[in-house]
Amino acid sequence: MTSSIFESIKHTNEHDQEYWSARELYKILEYTEYGKFIPTIEKAKIACKNSGQTIEDHFAEVSDMVSIGSDAKKKLKPSQKILDHMGAEELAANLFRATQTEAKIEREGIQGQTKANKAHFDVGKKIRSTIVEIGGTMPENLPSIESVTKVENRIKKEKLSNVDNPNIGSGKEKKKGEVEGEV
């Protein structure tokens, strides 16, 4: 029996539930770009809701390969959030892109998901072009930073260790082998 192309890209989660990745589906459905497939996904979500189904039961947000402009990708595990792995330069570039896209949509009266997606793509392309022009580093080539979660956990551990020695940071820390009250 020959397997269909859809069977060849089918995934199964830890609960033996089948699912398909939109980033794989758009290619076999012959969309030229993932961004052009997004309106189709949104229509499918509407159809899902209109049929009385819960959207979250059928569409999951997954970020195993996150597009960060043009064809650039940043590899992340599904449990990781992209914003937790961006440094200040990358966050600022993304905030600038988002605010400028919003301003363009409002200024030009752009309506509809497809046109808004195109505006988003065009603004992102121009920003990437500017980064190249000024000799900057493309976001996907910026060094990875320690995730926010890891930093938070490290700070919590430091605070817990400070509970064991409340004098830490006061200049009254005990030195190894020192006994309280020694002169």
Q: What is the pTM of this model?
A: 0.45
Split at pLDDT 50, 70, 90, the class of 183 is very low
Number of separate domains in the chain: 2
The reply to whether 98 and 45 lie within a common domain is no
Q: Which of 3-17, 61-75, 123-137, 148-162 is the most confident on average?
A: 123-137
Count of residues in the chain: 183
The reply to whether 40 and 92 lie within a common domain is no
Per-residue b or e along 138-167, where b marks 16 or more CB atoms closer than 10 Å to that residue's CB: ebbebeeeeeeeeeeeeeeeeeeeeeeeee
What is the gyration radius of the CA atoms in the chain, in angstroms? Answer: 24
The reply to whether 89 and 146 lie within a common domain is yes
The 10 Å Cβ neighbour count of residue 90 is 21
Instruction: Say how far apart CA 136 and CA 117 lie, in whole Å.
Output: 25
Split at pLDDT 50, 70, 90, the class of 134 is very high
The per-residue pLDDT for range 48-83, each reduced to its tens digit, is: 888 988 888 788 765 444 445 444 556 666 666 777
The reply to whether 97 and 145 lie within a common domain is yes
Of 141 and 51, the one with more pLDDT: 51
The boundaries of the domain holding residue 54 are 7-62
What percent of the chain stands above pLDDT 70? 76
